[in-house]
């Protein structure tokens, strides 16, 4: 593949047909050509999320208010010429973006004018434009978004659980911040964020579908992302987080028709790039309460939970927790049965047949994602952000054994590190506090 100077750029090709290029600027480009597909899906991801509240760049420390990464996501769509959404509309592309705990992703799907849409996407990321007026204009919009998420019981469960589990780690802050924190955001602060986290070496581009690597690399050349000098990498600063809980239990009244509950277990942080342990935890959750587990079938058949009940692993730099959430009119019974199932599997080991079924399900999900342009690009990006590839993930999944799960269960999901949150309809009586569930200092 020719680079900007006409020399050959070598692709790293994996057995899933995904191509990977690393440009001299440090920008990583991943492409999965899918002949016969009509659409192309392109993602540009910055390794910058809501937990990045304090960092050092070139010897200077910067403190950010909660919600800075999300605020920046909104403002990257605006430039001196107007609105990037309008430019995407002219190319016929469907574009959007999201911010999570550890990344910000911008993406579009298009069936035509893909090169023009690529130019719009990369121009956004390389030409930020902020003024006092444009930054101020966004405050009311984001404040409304914050209030909207505060009214979502599913989101409130996650936020409240993180605030119970963590004393100071920024995962306890809402991704969008608060109305008070976003009031502190200025153009200068947003430019600091761009310099630190939107440098080419901190970005990656993943594309799949009706597209090839030369078109993506040509767009990078047009945007000046191919030969840009490697910039200093930001150094994230995070205070040590103890393994104790900030609180054991919270009850939140909300305008809901059915009570919601969540329990969270604080676990030791995983090493950067340790996708194996995260995948193992995910398999353990499938064995405990996944759709093929005896516990799930019992809870569902007895009407104690609806199909939304389940567990998930939340893992970011410096924090890892396992969360179970759902709706139930009898949360006490659900949580009691969940704890009993955890202890039973801790004592006897995971069910070997269920473990094999869960592994096969995960294999199926990985392969299925390769056949959808949106999922293929997202999967490449997700694994690349963890320093992995799709084939490496398949091989890693194959290496996991029931014995690995049995060993992990001896240390994770410990009652001493469990917090509980209940969301009750306004006017409902709060559940009686467990004498062992008092708030910790």
Pick from 420, 421, 419, 428: which is nearest to 253 by CA? 428
Per-residue exposure over 142-170, b if at least 16 CB sit within 10 Å of its own CB, e if not: bbeebeeeeeebeebbbbbbbbbbbbebb
Q: H or E segment at 193? A: helix 187-197
| Cβ atoms 98, 73 nearer than 8 A | yes
CA separation for the pair 32, 7 (Å, rounded): 22
Give dist(CA 287, CA 409) in Å, integer: 11
b/e map 17-38, b = 16+ CB within 10 Å: ebbbbebbbbbbbbbbbbeebe
Catalytic residue among 19, 28, 61, 73: 73
> What end-to-end distance do the CA atoms of the chain give, in Å?
59
Q: Reply yes or no on whether 73 is catalytic.
A: yes
C-beta separation of 51 from 104 below 8 A = no
Could you give the CA distance from residue 321 to residue 246 in angstroms, rounded to a whole number? 14
311: closest CA among 252, 353, 358? 358
Contact 99, 70 (CB under 8 A): yes
Establish how many alpha carbons lie within 13 A of residue 132's alpha carbon, considering only the half-sphere containing its beta carbon.
0
In whole angstroms, how far apart are CA 234 and each of 48, 100, 239, 397? 10, 18, 16, 32
- Residue 19 to residue 207: CA distance in whole angstroms: 10
- Please report where in the chains the tokens 């006017």 appear, as a residue: 427
Q: Which sequence positions are flagged as catalytic?
A: 73
């Amino acid at each position: 593949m020719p680079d900007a100077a006409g020399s050959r750029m070598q692709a790293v090709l994996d057995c899933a047909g995904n191509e990977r290029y690393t440009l001299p600027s440090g920008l990583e480009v991943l492409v999965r050509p899918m002949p016969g597909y009509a659409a192309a899906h392109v993602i540009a991801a910055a390794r910058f999320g809501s937990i990045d509240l304090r960092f050092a760049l070139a010897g200077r420390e910067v403190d950010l208010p909660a919600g800075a990464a999300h605020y920046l996501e909104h403002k990257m769509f605006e430039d001196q010429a107007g609105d990037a959404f309008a430019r995407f509309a002219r190319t016929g592309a469907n574009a959007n973006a999201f911010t999570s705990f550890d990344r910000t992703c911008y993406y579009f799907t298009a069936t035509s004018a893909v090169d023009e849409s690529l130019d719009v996407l990369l121009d956004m990321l390389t030409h930020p434009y902020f003024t006092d007026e444009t930054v101020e204009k966004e405050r009311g919009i984001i404040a409304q978004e914050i209030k909207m998420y505060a009214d979502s019981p599913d989101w409130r469960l996650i936020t409240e659980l993180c605030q119970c589990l963590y004393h100071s780690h920024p995962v306890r802050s809402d991704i969008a911040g608060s109305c008070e924190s976003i009031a502190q955001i200025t153009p200068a602060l947003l430019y600091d964020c761009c310099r630190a986290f939107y440098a080419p070496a901190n970005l990656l581009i993943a594309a799949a579908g009706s597209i090839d690597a030369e078109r993506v690399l040509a767009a990078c050349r047009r945007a000046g992302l191919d030969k840009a000098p490697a910039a200093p990498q930001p150094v994230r600063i995070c205070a040590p987080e103890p393994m104790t809980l900030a609180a054991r239990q919270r009850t939140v009244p909300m305008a809901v028709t059915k009570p919601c509950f969540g329990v969270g277990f604080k676990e030791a942080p995983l090493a950067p790039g340790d996708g194996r342990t995260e995948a193992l935890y995910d398999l353990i959750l499938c064995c405990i309460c996944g759709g093929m587990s005896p516990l799930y079938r019992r809870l569902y058949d007895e009407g104690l939970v609806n199909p939304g009940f389940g567990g998930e692993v939340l893992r970011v730099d410096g924090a890892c927790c396992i969360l179970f959430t759902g709706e139930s009119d009898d949360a006490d019974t659900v949580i009691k049965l969940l704890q009993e199932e955890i202890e039973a599997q801790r004592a006897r080991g995971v069910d070997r047949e269920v473990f094999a079924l869960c592994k096969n399900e995960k294999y199926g999900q990985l392969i299925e994602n390769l056949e959808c342009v949106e999922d293929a690009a997202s999967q490449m990006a997700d694994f690349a952000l963890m320093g992995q590839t799709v084939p490496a993930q398949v091989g890693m999944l194959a290496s996991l054994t029931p014995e690995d799960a049995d060993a992990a269960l001896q240390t994770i999901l410990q009652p001493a590190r469990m917090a509980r949150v209940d969301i009750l309809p306004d006017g409902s009586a709060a559940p009686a506090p467990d004498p062992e569930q008092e708030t910790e200092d």
